[in-house]
A and B are shown apart, each in its own frame.
Chain A
């Protein structure tokens, strides 16, 4: 009965997420006006920026889960950190790829070693290393401890990425929403961005729940196998 209820709740979340993503697409592709200088490709902004924000959120969850795992040594925090790191890597990949596709017509290149791009790539590698530690260290508890330390230290890169466009001279546009003096966007553009942000946050939550379920079921399997072996 419990699992049926959980499925109904998850299905509802999936439906709401799907509808919000469709609304986000409508606001990004139809509702928001075309930017005069950049043309249609600027509309990638409405999902590129939310992908980056959600990646930061995912790694913040890894940071919190890592601290709590080292403190409490509970398997739940370990599972949550592992799940959020993987989903965060997916969103960072989306950020890098959509940014690169936007850069080609605007900057004339797919990639440049700009401070914002480079620090984001470093973030991607840090959390790939986090996932690799989980896979290659045979002792489960040691792997969880090492990964938790990496999850705490690695998060330092997030504020560096955010400030990179202020600290260094970069090609990447400066923040247009979180800035002194308020958002520098036309109201319809800001609305489209906010809808995209809600949609991507819901997608993150939906993916995270699924990823945690995978981890839980793997742990169940391990227990059953141990029971069979004894």
Chain B
């Protein structure tokens, strides 16, 4: 039997780095988009209250 543990370690490292890297990227994208939605919604509300384009 050959000792190829280093390849096993490399394989699992890549597996978890890629999976969790993608998950972090998605989590950040959701948070940023939600922040933008909230900001735009409050802008719309302000426009309504001050009799803007929709008022």
Contact = CB atoms under 8 A, between A and B. Distances in A.
A136 B18 CA distance: 25
Contacts of A228: 40, 43-44, 47, 53
A213 interface: yes
Contact of A97 (B14, B22, B37): B14
A5 B46 CA distance: 29
A126 B43 CA distance: 41
Contact of B18 (A90, A105, A227): A90
Contacts of A41: 4-5, 7-8, 11
Given A41-B4, A43-B8, A44-B12, A230 B53 contact: yes
Interface in B1-55: 1-5, 7-8, 10-12, 14-15, 18-19, 22-23, 26-27, 29-30, 33-34, 36-37, 40-41, 43-44, 47, 53-54
Could you tell me the dominant secondary structure of chain A's interface residues? helix
Could you tell me the dominant secondary structure of chain B's interface residues? helix
A40 B15 CA distance: 16
A157 to B, nearest CB: 22
B19 A102 contact: no
Contact of B19 (A34, A43, A94, A218): A94
Chain A interface residue count: which class? 35 or more
Given A44-B11, A102-B11, A221-B33, A210 B43 contact: no
Contacts of A51: 15
A105 B6 CA distance: 10
19 contacts: A38-B4, A39-B3, A40-B3, A41-B7, A41-B8, A43-B8, A44-B7, A47-B15, A90-B18, A101-B10, A102-B11, A104-B7, A105-B2, A203-B19, A210-B30, A214-B33, A221-B36, A221-B40, A228-B53
Interface of A: 25, 29, 34, 36-41, 43-44, 47-48, 51, 90, 93-94, 97-98, 101-102, 104-105, 203, 206-207, 210-211, 213-214, 217-218, 220-221, 224-225, 227-228, 230
